[in-house]
Amino acid sequence: MTNPADLTLAQLRDALKAKDVSSLEATDAYLTRIEKAKALNAYVTVTADKARDMAKASDAKLAKGEGGPIEGVPLGIKDLFCTEDVLTTAGSHILDGFKPRYESTVTSQLWRDGGVMLGKLNMDEFAMGSSNETSFYGNVVNPWRREDGGNTDLTPGGSSGGSSASVAARLCAAATATDTGGSIRQPASLTNTVGVKPTYGRVSRWGVVAFASSLDQAGPIAQDVRDAAIMLKSMAGHDPKDSTSVDRPVPDYEAVLGQSLKGLKIGVPKEYRVDGMPDEIEKLWAQGIEWMKDAGCEIVDISLPMTKYALPVYYIVAPAEASSNLARYDGVKYGLRAKEYTDITSMYEETRAEGFGDEVKRRILIGTYVLSAGYYDAYYLRAQKVRKRIFDEFTDAFSKVDLILTPSAPSAAFGLGEKTNDPVQMYLNDVFTVTANLAGLPGASVPAGYDRQGLPLGLQLLAKPFDEETMFKGLFALEQAAGANKRPNEWWA
């Protein structure tokens, strides 16, 4: 029989229910793969014993014909989610040895529904990065390589690089991820996986280490659209412990897959044609428009002129919130405390100097600056006003269209180290994704094709707030039309 770790989440789920395979078998298959894939550096922590225990418990339920919607399915968890008694690092040195005494709402819902935890996935430090190169635990390597005969290690995208790489390399059936400016969709685009960032408020932030509270939203990275739909159903839902969580029922996203798109209006914003974008991406986008037409959609040219301000606004709002959110890492209560210090101020300084990496420090500095007396109005307040206009612009656009189609990222996977010396170049990776975070909209990336060098490229769909169902319908249609379901060669194994 096939390796259970080669199945999609949906296939594995069905095989488990049919007792064609046990959860323990699937779990062991994944653990074996993880063991062989150290070169990818996708996991920070592998919880093999816990995984086997959970798998056995699932098998017991499955044997009785019981169990939740994803009973026995092995999952990878981005190391930004707090997991009880399991090291939680957020990719940072400053959380050294931190084992929470609580479980995030998202992961507890996954366990409630039968998920099995394989371990914690690598990520950019505090989710700040677009290449997974800011992690204290080292770069994650993209399972995909250029078809040029070279062995250049490429980025799996970021910040959810461990999630995208592990799903692409089948080191878990699916993974949790988070998206503050594109951290689910850009890595998905770079690894031929599906990444879904739901509407702000759809998924609880409780127990997820905060980066920028008004932008952070958790979602899945999965092998295909169906798997993403299954994952999101388990992850989503109202949580009274998160004041920004919205109380509305969670639809069955899987049920809408395959439904007709006839008559849907698809917006195509001209402002998403940016300078220096490879023509392959341009072509893929045009192809995507054709696929949507073929599916019976009407294409509507729209204009989102505020788009050009989205990145500058993001790089004020996100660092501002981060500078405050990260103040709690001070060496007093948990995690790292510098060994040498003379007084409380020097303890703060030494601990934070040692514990945070350069990118995190850069953003704390930017955030502290833009909130400072005398600069608040010029930066933070103005950014919030522009943010409101971006939201209004989308609201207006969505009065005319049902979905918006754009590329997911401005380039395919790039080489590790290629952009690390130029933060602004790195920030440009989020140019297509960041608007959805600023406006709180759902957005998702789906594999749509490959560039000349055989690297995956994704297309993005944006939808109205809480209209993930229409988005999933569109994603499924694109996935079917594109048929971009290649897998990377297992060069690492």
Partner 1 sequence: MGAEPTKLLQGTTGDWEVVVGLEVHAQVSSKSKLFSGASAEYGAGPNENVSLVDAAMPGMLPVINKYCVEQAIRTGLGLNAKINTWSRFDRKNYFYPDLPQGYQISQYKDPIVGEGEVEVEVEPGETITVGIERLHLEQDAGKSIHDLAPKESYVDLNRSGVALMEIVSKPHMRTAEEGAAYFTKLRSIVRYLGTCDGNMEEGSMRADVNVSVCRAGSYEKFKETGDFSHLGTRTETKNVNSIRYVKQVIDYEARRQIEVLEGGGEIDQETRLFDVKSGTTRTMRSKEDAHDYRYFPDPDLLPLEFDQAWVDEIKAGLPELPDAKKHRFINEYGLSAYDASVLAADKASAAYFEEVAKCGDGKLASNWVTGELFGALNKADKDIETSPVSAAQLGELISLIKDGTISGKIAKDVFALMFEGEETGSPADIVEKRGLKQVTDTGAIEKIVDEIIAANPEQAEKVKEKPKTMGWFVGQVMKASQGKANPQAVNEILKKKLGVE
Binding residues for partner 1, rule: CB under 8 A, are 81-82, 88, 90, 95, 98, 100-102, 104, 205-210, 212-214, 240-244, 320-321, 323-324, 326-328, 330, 332-334, 344, 348, 368, 371-373, 376, 380
**Residue 425: which of 322, 321, 284, 274 has the closest Cα?**
274
Choose between 124 and 254: whose C-beta lies nearer to partner 1: 124
In the complex, the smallest distance separating the C-beta of residue 89 from partner 1, rounded to whole angstroms, is 10
Residue of 58, 78, 130, 135 with catalytic role: 78
Residue of 22, 92, 130, 159 with catalytic role: 159
Sheet holding 443-450, edge to edge: 43-46, 116-121, 74-78, 174-179, 217-222, 194-197, 443-450, 456-463, 403-407, 265-269, 298-302
Pairing of strands 265-269, 403-407: parallel
Choose between 285 and 315: whose C-beta lies nearer to partner 1: 315
Q: Let me know: does 122 contact 91? Beta carbons within 8 Å.
A: yes
Task: State the Cα–Cα distance between residues 419 and 427, nearest whole angstrom.
Answer: 10
Choose between 26 and 208: whose C-beta lies nearer to partner 1: 208
Residue of 22, 135, 160, 183 with catalytic role: 183
Per the annotation, the verdict on 400 as an active-site residue is no
In the complex, the smallest distance separating the C-beta of residue 36 from partner 1, rounded to whole angstroms, is 32
Choose between 244 and 453: whose C-beta lies nearer to partner 1: 244
Q: Mind spelling out the 3-state secondary structure of 406-438?
A: EECCCCCCCECCCCCCCHHHHHHHHCCCHHHHH
Task: State the Cα–Cα distance between residues 258 and 476, nearest whole angstrom.
Answer: 7
Per the annotation, the verdict on 56 as an active-site residue is no
Task: State the Cα–Cα distance between residues 228 and 175, nearest whole angstrom.
Answer: 9
Separation in Å, CA 14 to CA 174, 259, 401, 426: 15, 21, 36, 41
In terms of C-beta density within 10 A (0-12 exposed, 13-18 middle, 19 or more buried), how is residue 214 classed?
middle
Task: State the Cα–Cα distance between residues 311 and 213, nearest whole angstrom.
Answer: 17
Task: State the Cα–Cα distance between residues 121 and 87, nearest whole angstrom.
Answer: 11
In the complex, the smallest distance separating the C-beta of residue 185 from partner 1, rounded to whole angstroms, is 21
Choose between 81 and 314: whose C-beta lies nearer to partner 1: 81
Task: State the Cα–Cα distance between residues 138 and 122, nearest whole angstrom.
Answer: 8
Choose between 13 and 337: whose C-beta lies nearer to partner 1: 337
In the complex, the smallest distance separating the C-beta of residue 172 from partner 1, rounded to whole angstroms, is 21
Task: State the Cα–Cα distance between residues 400 and 266, nearest whole angstrom.
Answer: 9
Per the annotation, the verdict on 243 as an active-site residue is no
In the complex, the smallest distance separating the C-beta of residue 78 from partner 1, rounded to whole angstroms, is 12
Task: State the Cα–Cα distance between residues 26 and 13, nearest whole angstrom.
Answer: 11
**Residue 268: which of 289, 291, 297, 253 has the closest Cα?**
289
Type of residue found at 464: K
In the complex, the smallest distance separating the C-beta of residue 361 from partner 1, rounded to whole angstroms, is 15
Choose between 322 and 446: whose C-beta lies nearer to partner 1: 322
In the complex, the smallest distance separating the C-beta of residue 469 from partner 1, rounded to whole angstroms, is 25
Q: Catalogue the active-site residues.
A: 78, 159, 183
